[in-house]
Amino acid sequence: MAKDLWISDLQSGDMVEQEISIQGWVKRSRSSGKIIFLSLRDSTGSIQCVAKKDTLDEQKFADLKSALIESSLVITGTVKEDQRSGGNEISVSDVEIIGAVNPEAPFPITESAMAAADGGETEFLLDNRHLYLRTSRMTTMLKIRSSVFGAIHSYFRGLDFIEYQAPCFVAGAVEGGSTLFEVPYFGRKAYLTQSWQLYAEAAMPALERLYTIAPSFRAEKSRTRRHLTEFWHAEMEIAWAGNDDVMAHGEALVRHICATLLEERSAELESLGRDLEMIKRFAENPFPRIRYDEAVERLQALGVDIEWGDDLDYSKEKILTADFDLPHFLTHYPKVAKPFYHRPDPEDDKYVLCHDLLAPEGYGEIIGGGERTWSEQEILERIDEEGTSREAYEFYIDVRRYGGVPHGGFGLGVDRVIAWLAGAEHIREVIPFPRDSRRVTP
Ligand code: 4AD
Ligand code: MG
C-alpha cells in the first residue's frame, strides 16, 4: 500500500507510455454514457484520468462513474500525452475504490461554496475547516507555511543558534496584562505564555545565541485581520548585542525567508497571484530604518489623528505602510508605549532601544524586538515605574544579579509573515485551525 509515486511525477515526458498505479482522491468528475473524465488529486497536484466503457470492466466502470468527490481510489493505467493541455493524462485500465463517499452526505466544500467565499472565508468554510484543508488554496498555504518554518530553522541553525524551549504555563505577563489568558492551576492562577522571551533571557548567559518557534497566546478580544489568540512565534535572543545587531538578524531572517520561498515555492506563490519580482526585491534589498518620531510626523502630515506617545495600532500601520516598497524598521518608540523590559536609550530616556519591522502593502508589524534592560537596578526601576508587582519576575531580576551583559532579541509573528508573503486577506487563511475570540472548533 505504501505510496512511491506522486501525481507530480507523472507530468514528466519520460512517463509517457508507462504503466502505472497511483493513489489519490477524486477532485472532480464528469461522464457521458461511454467515457469518464476524472480529475485525480494527491498532495502534489492533479491529473486527468480518462476511462472508456469499452476498455474497462463493466463493474469497474460503474464504480468509477459513481465515485463522488473526495472518494479515495487507486487508479491503474497508461500515461498518455494530453494534446490539448500539453500535460499528461492517464488512460485508465483498472480502478479500486478505497474509501467511498456516501451519496447522502457528499463532500460539502463545493465550488460554489468556495466561489461565495471569494478567496476569503465564510463561517461555513471555517466550520468545515477539517475538510477545507484539502482544497488547493489551503494546500498551497500549508506548503508555503512549511517552507517558512524550514527557512527560520535553517537561518538560525546556519549561524549556530541553539534551539531552546520555554514553558507555556507562566506566572507573569511579558506583553502587558490585558491580553493574558488565565488558567486554573491547582488552586492557583497561571497564565498561558505571551512570549518565550523572559525564559530565553535566563538561558542567554548559558547559550549566548538561542531561538525557538513555538505557540504564543494572547487574549485578543477584537477580531482583526492580523490577530489570533494562538499564534506561532519565532523568537531569538543574543548576548553581547545591541538594538542594531538584533535588527540586522531580523532583516537577514526575513530576507532569507523570501529567498527560500522563491527557491521552493515559486509555483505556489504564482498560483496565488503574487508578484515574484516583488518578493525578490524584499530578498535582495536592505530595509530602511526610521525613528518613531518621523513615523508620527508622516502620519500627522497625512491627517491621521495620532499624538506622540501613542502606540501604532493596525489602522495607523496600514496607512503608513500602504506605499512602502520594502519592509521598514521603526525604532526608538517612547518608553510609555512599550513593556518594562525594553532598555531606555542612554541618550534620551524618553525613548527605548527597540524596533518593530513593518511589512509593506498595509500588512504592518511582523517583528517586535530590541535591547533589554540588563542591570538589576534598571530593571527594578522599570518594573516599579510600570506599577507591576516584582513577585512574578523574581527569577528575571535574579538573572541580572550574576554577570549581566548587554543583550537583546526579537519575536517574529510567523503567521503574519506567511499572510503577508502569500498575499492573504486575513491571517486565518494561512493557519490550519485558526483560533480567535469566537472560535475553538473544529
Ligand atoms: O511585538 P510582540 O508583542 O513582542 C514580543 O512578544 C516580544 N516579547 C518578542 C521578543 O522580543 N522576543 O510580538 C512579536 C510579534 C509581533 O511583531 C507580531 O508579528 C506577532 O508577534 N504577534 C501576533 N501574531 C498573531 N496574532 C497575535 N495576536 C499576535 N501578537 C503578536
Ligand atoms: Mg509588538
pLDDT tens per residue, range 7-36: 999 999 999 999 999 999 999 999 988 999
Average pLDDT, stretch 81-99?
92
Confidence class of residue 119 from pLDDT cuts 50, 70 and 90? low
**Å from CA of 418 to ligand 2 middle:** 17
Residue ranges, CATH 2.40.50.140, the chain: 7-99
Task: State the SS3 of the chain.
Answer: CCCCCCHHHHHCHHHCCCEEEEEEEEEEEEECCCEEEEEEEECCEEEEEEEECCCCCHHHHHHHHHCCCCCEEEEEEEEEECCCCCCEEEEEEEEEEEECCCCCCCCCCCHHHHHHHCCCCCHHHHHCHHHHCCCHHHHHHHHHHHHHHHHHHHHHHHCCCEECCCCCEECCCCCCHHHCCEEEECCEEEEECCCCHHHHHHHHHHHCEEEEEEEEECCCCCCCCCCCCEEEEEEEEEECCCHHHHHHHHHHHHHHHHHHHHHHCHHHHHHCCCCHHHHHHHHHCCCCEEEHHHHHHHHHHCCCCCCCCCCCCHHHHHHHHCCCCCCEEEECCEHHHCCCCECEECCEEEEECEEEEEECCCCEEEEEEEEECCCHHHHHHHHHHHCCCCHHHHHHHHHCCCCCCCEEEEEEEHHHHHHHHHCCCCHHHHCCCCCECCECCC
pLDDT in tens, 352-400: 999 999 999 999 999 999 999 999 999 999 999 888 888 889 999 999 9
Alpha carbon 184 to chain centroid distance? 29
Q: Is the CB of 368 under 6 A from ligand 1?
A: yes
Task: Considering only residues 1 and 15, tell me which one the structure prediction assigns the higher pLDDT.
Answer: 15
Q: Which atom of ligand 1 is nearest to the CA of 368?
A: 1
User: Which of 181, 416, 421 gets mutated to test ligand 1 (max ligand atoms within 8 A of its CB)?
Assistant: 416
Q: What is the pLDDT of residue 71?
A: 98
CATH of domain 131-430: 3.30.930.10
Q: Is the CB of 411 under 6 A from ligand 1?
A: yes
Pairing mode, strands 188-192 and 182-185: antiparallel
- Residue with the smallest CA separation from ligand 1 atom 27 is 227
Do residues 229 and 217 touch, judged by C-beta distance below 8 A?
Answer: yes
Q: What is the pLDDT of residue 411?
A: 98
Q: Is the CB of 235 under 6 A from ligand 1?
A: yes
Across all residues in the chain, what is the average pLDDT? 95
Is pLDDT at 122 greater than 90 in this prediction?
no
Q: Is the CB of 366 under 6 A from ligand 1?
A: yes
Locate 382 and state its grid cell. Answer: 522599570
pLDDT in tens, 132-159: 999 999 999 999 999 999 999 999 999 9
Task: Provide, rounded to the nearest whole percent, the portion of the chain with pLDDT above 70.
Answer: 100
Q: Is the CB of 344 under 6 A from ligand 1?
A: no
**Å from CA of 261 to ligand 2 middle:** 25
Is pLDDT at 120 greater than 80 in this prediction?
no
Q: Which atom of ligand 1 is nearest to the CA of 200?
A: 12
- Residue with the smallest CA separation from ligand 1 atom 31 is 413
User: Which of 156, 179, 195 gets mutated to test ligand 1 (max ligand atoms within 8 A of its CB)?
Assistant: 195
pLDDT in tens, 101-114: 999 999 999 888 88
Task: Specify the CATH architecture of the domain 7-99.
Answer: Beta Barrel (2.40)
Q: Is the CB of 339 under 6 A from ligand 1?
A: no
Q: Which atom of ligand 1 is nearest to the CA of 196?
A: 12
Is pLDDT at 222 greater than 90 in this prediction?
no
How far apart are alpha carbons 27 and 61 in whole angstroms?
17
User: Which of 180, 209, 216, 366 gets mutated to test ligand 1 (max ligand atoms within 8 A of its CB)?
Assistant: 216
Q: Which atom of ligand 1 is nearest to the CA of 408?
A: 11
CA atoms within 13 A on the CB side of 406: 14
Q: Is the CB of 231 under 6 A from ligand 1?
A: yes
Q: Is the CB of 409 under 6 A from ligand 1?
A: yes
Average pLDDT, stretch 201-205?
98
Q: Which atom of ligand 1 is nearest to the CA of 233?
A: 21
pLDDT in tens, 33-77: 899 999 999 999 999 999 999 999 999 999 999 999 999 999 999
Q: Which atom of ligand 1 is nearest to the CA of 227?
A: 26
Is pLDDT at 266 greater than 80 in this prediction?
yes
**Å from CA of 321 to ligand 1 middle:** 18
How far apart are alpha carbons 298 and 292 in whole angstroms?
10
Q: What is the pLDDT of residue 1?
A: 77
Residue ranges, CATH 3.30.930.10, the chain: 131-430
Q: Which ligand is nearest to the CA of 431?
A: 1
Average pLDDT, stretch 236-245?
98
Q: Is the CB of 367 under 6 A from ligand 1?
A: yes
Task: Provide, rounded to the nearest whole percent, the portion of the chain with pLDDT above 90.
Answer: 89
